[in-house]
């Protein structure tokens, strides 16, 4: 029995390791990824300001996976033939009995004119390091800054975190008074986060913005990014010598090239609440590759839902359990729609943090709380160390 996993970060590595752990020699598990290292993406917010190096948050995939009996292939998957049950890569082809798509997203830099040429993005190692270089230049000639998210974006949380870390960095560099700091977001209110907000969240973030003297613009999109300015869809033009904006995500080229997956306009994989493909019984998806419908009505400016590390890890476990049951001939399937996964997040705020917890990610919720910790971001750092330790040892079964 061949199980093939395409994509090896939170969701993909968890699924691969769990299936191999539970079935052992009954299955041959192979994971394909174009990058040799696992990357703890939540800590990329700290790379531009020098609090972390890329090497601090990277782990060799081959070393971890093959120690646990999972074959690792360093390659780029280009197309899936679901009828022949084969995945084609740049250097070969891989047959499968069960396929798990955990590829993450593609970043749409073309969503806004000028974004690719004049904007910065912290969501990749290359982007984070380029942002660091720009900050080093910025110190010599400080001025206005724009941070936020464009229309269609779903990863507002990381942008908020970078904003508050950047504000602290400006103070540490003794140039904060020389900088007009602007936050722009398609959210209808601060702290919507693509999950329709949390109790007290808007009030808390308003206080943060006022305390740190940050000008905020809600329910706006970006018309164009220039070298020295950002023009918003409401006609506002903001001068900017440093611009970092989170763009929209879409499905990767592999999904677009595989027409039988029937992906929607956003390029993500349509699944049931078991994370099995809606119509193809031996194809599954986990993590950011899963298509998730927003739980709220689109506002004046469109934006998406967040797909963070914790739900990705959970969906990886659900897919693993369900694939194992199918292989063992067990009819039972675990079901948990994305919005029913617990909301567990720690938002860093520049060596401060906000602990966010809800029993479900989307409304209605029975429990929903936000707790600020203004002393230190201990929990954020602890989670980073925990997940890196967990992955380094292949302990996929742990929470």
Q: Tell me: the pLDDT tens digits for 37-55?
A: 999 999 999 999 999 999 9
Q: Which pLDDT band, with edges at 50, 70 and 90, does 191 fall under?
A: very high
Q: Tell me: the pLDDT tens digits for 122-139?
A: 999 999 999 999 999 999
Helices in the chain by DSSP H: which ranges? Answer: 10-23, 61-67, 115-118, 125-138, 156-172, 201-211, 253-257, 309-328, 378-392
Q: Which pLDDT band, with edges at 50, 70 and 90, does 197 fall under?
A: very high
Q: Which pLDDT band, with edges at 50, 70 and 90, does 236 fall under?
A: very high
- b/e for 82-102, b at 16 or more Cβ within 10 A? beebebbbeeeebebebbbbb
145 DSSP β-pair partners: 181, 242
pLDDT at position 308: 86
Q: Is the pLDDT of residue 374 over 90?
A: no
pTM of the model: 0.96
Q: Do 147 and 159 form a contact (C-beta atoms < 8 A)?
A: yes
Q: Is the pLDDT of residue 161 over 80?
A: yes
| Residues near 142 by beta carbon (within 8 Å), at least 6 away in sequence | 170, 175, 178, 179, 241
Average pLDDT of the residues in 275-298: 94
* The two three-digit tokens of residue 113, written as one number: 């004119």
Q: Which pLDDT band, with edges at 50, 70 and 90, does 375 fall under?
A: confident
pLDDT at position 299: 81
Domains recognised in the chain with CATH numbers: 2-106+249-340 (3.50.50.60), 109-248 (3.50.50.60)
| Residues near 289 by beta carbon (within 8 Å), at least 6 away in sequence | 7, 11, 101, 102, 103, 104, 105, 251, 252, 255, 268, 269
- Is residue 271 exposed (0-12), middle (13-18) or buried (19+ Cβ within 10 Å)? buried
Q: Tell me: the pLDDT tens digits for 323-354?
A: 999 999 999 999 999 999 999 999 999 999 99
How many angstroms separate the CA atoms of 347 and 235, rounded? 31
> Chain centroid to CA 227: how far?
27
Q: How many CB atoms lie within 10 A of CB 276?
A: 22
**CA distance readout (Å), 8 to 62, 116, 240, 260, 280:** 10, 26, 37, 23, 22
Q: Which pLDDT band, with edges at 50, 70 and 90, does 244 fall under?
A: very high
pLDDT over 70 percentage in the chain = 100
* The two three-digit tokens of residue 319, written as one number: 């897919």
| Residues near 166 by beta carbon (within 8 Å), at least 6 away in sequence | 48, 49, 135, 145, 147, 181, 244, 350
Q: Do 108 and 152 form a contact (C-beta atoms < 8 A)?
A: yes
Mean pLDDT of the chain: 96
Average pLDDT of the residues in 79-100: 98
pLDDT at position 25: 96
How many angstroms separate the CA atoms of 345 and 353, rounded? 10
Q: Which pLDDT band, with edges at 50, 70 and 90, does 231 fall under?
A: very high
Can you give the length of the chain in residues?
399
Q: Tell me: the pLDDT tens digits for 74-84?
A: 999 999 999 99
Q: Is the pLDDT of residue 298 over 80?
A: no
Q: Which pLDDT band, with edges at 50, 70 and 90, does 309 fall under?
A: confident
């Amino acid at each position: 029995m061949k199980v093939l996993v395409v994509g090896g970060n939170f969701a993909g590595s968890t699924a691969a390791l769990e299936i191999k752990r539970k079935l052992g020699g009954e299955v041959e598990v192979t994971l394909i990824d174009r990058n040799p290292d696992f990357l703890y993406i939540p800590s990329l917010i700290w790379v531009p300001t020098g609090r972390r190096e890329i090497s601090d948050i990277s782990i060799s995939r081959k070393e971890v996976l093959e120690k646990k009996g999972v074959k690792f292939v360093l390659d780029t998957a280009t197309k899936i033939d679901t009828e022949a049950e084969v995945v084609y890569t740049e250097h070969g082809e891989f047959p499968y009995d069960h396929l798990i798509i955990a590829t993450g997203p593609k970043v749409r830099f073309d969503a806004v004119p000028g974004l690719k040429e004049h904007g910065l993005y912290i969501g990749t190692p290359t982007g984070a390091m380029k942002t660091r270089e720009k900050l080093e230049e910025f110190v010599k000639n400080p001025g206005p800054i724009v941070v936020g998210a464009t229309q269609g974006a779903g990863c507002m949380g990381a942008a908020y975190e970078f904003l508050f870390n950047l504000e602290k960095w400006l103070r540490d560099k003794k140039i904060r008074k020389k900088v007009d700091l602007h936050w722009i977001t398609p959210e209808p209110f601060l702290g919507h986060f693509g999950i329709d907000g949390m109790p007290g969240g808007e009030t808390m973030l308003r206080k943060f913005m006022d305390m740190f003297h940050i000008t905020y613009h809600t329910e706006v999109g970006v018309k164009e990014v220039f070298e020295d300015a950002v023009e918003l869809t409401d006609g506002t033009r903001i001068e900017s010598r440093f611009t970092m904006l989170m763009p929209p995500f879409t499905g990767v080229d592999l999904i677009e090239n595989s027409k039988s997956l029937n992906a929607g306009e956003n390029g993500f994989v349509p699944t049931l609440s078991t994370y099995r493909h809606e119509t193809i019984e031996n194809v599954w998806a986990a993590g950011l590759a899963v298509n998730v419908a927003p739980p709220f009505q689109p506002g004046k400016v469109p934006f998406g839902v967040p797909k963070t590390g914790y739900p990705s890890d959970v969906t990886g476990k659900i897919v693993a359990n369900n694939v194992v049951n199918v292989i063992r001939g067990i009819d039972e399937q675990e079901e948990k729609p994305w919005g029913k996964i617990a909301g567990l997040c720690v938002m860093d705020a520049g060596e401060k943090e906000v602990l966010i917890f809800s029993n479900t990610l989307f409304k209605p919720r029975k429990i929903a709380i936000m707790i600020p910790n203004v002393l230190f971001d201990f929990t954020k750092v602890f989670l980073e160390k925990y997940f890196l330790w967990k992955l380094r040892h292949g302990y996929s079964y742990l929470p």
